[in-house]
Protein backbone atom coordinates (compact mmCIF):
# COMPACT_ATOMS: atom_id res chain seq x y z
CA UNK A 1 0.00 0.00 0.00
CA UNK A 2 1.33 3.47 -0.92
CA UNK A 3 0.40 6.16 1.61
CA UNK A 4 0.70 9.76 0.46
CA UNK A 5 0.23 12.55 3.00
CA UNK A 6 -0.21 16.29 2.61
CA UNK A 7 0.03 18.72 5.55
CA UNK A 8 -2.12 21.83 5.04
CA UNK A 9 -2.58 25.08 6.95
CA UNK A 10 -5.94 26.84 6.83
CA UNK A 11 -6.19 30.43 5.62
CA UNK A 12 -5.63 32.93 8.41
CA UNK A 13 -9.09 34.42 7.99
CA UNK A 14 -10.86 31.09 8.59
CA UNK A 15 -11.79 29.76 11.99
CA UNK A 16 -11.12 26.07 12.54
CA UNK A 17 -14.82 25.10 12.58
CA UNK A 18 -15.48 27.06 9.39
CA UNK A 19 -12.42 25.46 7.77
CA UNK A 20 -13.48 21.92 8.68
CA UNK A 21 -17.09 22.55 7.62
CA UNK A 22 -16.03 23.80 4.19
CA UNK A 23 -13.46 21.05 3.71
CA UNK A 24 -15.96 18.31 4.55
CA UNK A 25 -18.94 19.84 2.72
CA UNK A 26 -17.11 20.94 -0.47
CA UNK A 27 -13.41 20.18 -0.91
CA UNK A 28 -13.78 16.55 0.24
CA UNK A 29 -16.36 15.93 -2.47
CA UNK A 30 -13.98 17.20 -5.16
CA UNK A 31 -11.32 14.90 -3.74
CA UNK A 32 -13.63 11.91 -3.70
CA UNK A 33 -14.66 12.55 -7.29
CA UNK A 34 -11.17 13.05 -8.75
CA UNK A 35 -9.54 10.29 -6.67
CA UNK A 36 -12.26 7.74 -7.48
CA UNK A 37 -10.84 4.71 -9.24
CA UNK A 38 -7.32 5.51 -8.03
CA UNK A 39 -7.23 5.95 -4.25
CA UNK A 40 -8.26 3.10 -1.99
CA UNK A 41 -8.72 5.45 0.98
CA UNK A 42 -8.99 9.24 1.36
CA UNK A 43 -8.71 10.51 4.95
CA UNK A 44 -8.62 13.94 6.58
CA UNK A 45 -7.11 14.17 10.09
CA UNK A 46 -7.70 17.50 11.83
CA UNK A 47 -5.61 18.71 14.74
CA UNK A 48 -7.56 18.94 18.00
CA UNK A 49 -6.94 22.50 19.24
CA UNK A 50 -7.79 21.52 22.81
CA UNK A 51 -4.88 19.08 22.93
CA UNK A 52 -1.98 20.68 21.07
CA UNK A 53 1.57 20.06 22.23
CA UNK A 54 2.77 23.36 20.70
CA UNK A 55 0.96 26.62 19.96
CA UNK A 56 0.36 27.69 16.35
CA UNK A 57 1.24 24.43 14.58
CA UNK A 58 2.36 24.72 10.95
CA UNK A 59 -0.63 22.71 9.75
CA UNK A 60 -4.29 22.13 10.65
CA UNK A 61 -5.05 18.97 8.69
CA UNK A 62 -3.21 15.96 7.38
CA UNK A 63 -4.77 14.60 4.22
CA UNK A 64 -3.99 10.97 3.42
CA UNK A 65 -4.47 9.17 0.13
CA UNK A 66 -3.79 5.47 0.00
CA UNK A 67 -3.06 3.71 -3.30
CA UNK A 68 -2.75 0.01 -4.08
CA UNK A 69 0.65 0.46 -5.76
CA UNK A 70 3.05 2.98 -7.29
CA UNK A 71 1.61 2.58 -10.79
CA UNK A 72 -1.84 3.58 -9.53
CA UNK A 73 -0.44 6.53 -7.58
CA UNK A 74 1.46 7.78 -10.65
CA UNK A 75 -1.63 7.33 -12.84
CA UNK A 76 -3.64 9.35 -10.32
CA UNK A 77 -1.10 12.18 -10.30
CA UNK A 78 -1.21 12.26 -14.11
CA UNK A 79 -5.03 12.36 -13.93
CA UNK A 80 -4.91 15.23 -11.40
CA UNK A 81 -2.57 17.20 -13.68
CA UNK A 82 -5.29 17.42 -16.35
CA UNK A 83 -5.69 21.22 -16.72
CA UNK A 84 -9.43 21.25 -15.98
CA UNK A 85 -9.02 19.09 -12.84
CA UNK A 86 -5.94 20.96 -11.64
CA UNK A 87 -7.69 24.32 -12.10
CA UNK A 88 -10.75 23.15 -10.15
CA UNK A 89 -8.61 21.87 -7.27
CA UNK A 90 -6.43 25.00 -7.17
CA UNK A 91 -9.47 27.31 -7.18
CA UNK A 92 -11.05 25.46 -4.28
CA UNK A 93 -7.76 25.20 -2.37
CA UNK A 94 -7.47 29.01 -2.57
CA UNK A 95 -10.69 29.21 -0.54
CA UNK A 96 -9.23 27.02 2.21
CA UNK A 97 -5.47 26.91 2.49
CA UNK A 98 -2.78 29.43 3.33
CA UNK A 99 -0.64 30.07 0.22
CA UNK A 100 2.72 28.31 0.42
CA UNK A 101 1.69 26.24 3.45
CA UNK A 102 1.43 22.82 1.84
CA UNK A 103 3.88 19.99 2.43
CA UNK A 104 3.68 16.37 1.46
CA UNK A 105 5.37 13.07 1.00
CA UNK A 106 5.04 9.33 1.29
CA UNK A 107 5.01 7.20 4.40
CA UNK A 108 6.53 3.88 5.22
CA UNK A 109 4.90 2.22 8.16
CA UNK A 110 5.97 -0.10 10.94
CA UNK A 111 3.49 -1.37 13.51
CA UNK A 112 4.07 -2.56 17.07
CA UNK A 113 1.41 -4.80 18.51
CA UNK A 114 1.07 -3.76 22.11
CA UNK A 115 0.14 -6.09 24.94
CA UNK A 116 -2.95 -5.42 26.98
CA UNK A 117 -2.18 -4.14 30.46
CA UNK A 118 -4.65 -4.78 33.24
CA UNK A 119 -5.67 -1.67 35.24
CA UNK A 120 -4.13 -1.51 38.68
pTM exceeds 0.95, yes or no: no
**pLDDT at residue 2, rounded to an integer:** 95
- Give the 3-state secondary structure of the chain: CEEEEEEEEECCCCCHHHHHHHHHHHHHHHHHHHHCCCEEEEEEEECCHHHCCCCCCCCCEEEEEEECCHHHHHHHHHHHCCHHHHHHHHHHHHHHEEEEEEEEEEECCCCCCCCCCCCC
- Percent above pLDDT 90 for the chain: 83
Cα–Cα distance, 92 to 54 (Å, whole number): 29
Instruction: Provide mean pLDDT across the span 83-93.
Output: 96
**pLDDT at residue 109, rounded to an integer:** 85
pLDDT tens per residue, range 18-73: 999 999 999 999 999 999 999 999 999 999 888 888 888 899 999 999 999 999 99
What is the residue extent of each domain of the chain?
2-107
Query: CATH assignment of 2-107?
Result: 3.30.70.100
Lowest mean per-residue pLDDT among 11-20, 46-55, 80-89, 111-120: 46-55
Cα–Cα distance, 29 to 1 (Å, whole number): 23
Q: In 3D, which of 107, 110, 111, 108 has the Cα closest to residue 6? A: 107
Amino acid sequence: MIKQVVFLKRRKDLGLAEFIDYYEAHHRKIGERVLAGYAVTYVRRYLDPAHLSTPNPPFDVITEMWFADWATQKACMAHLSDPAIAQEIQADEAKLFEPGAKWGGFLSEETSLMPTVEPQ
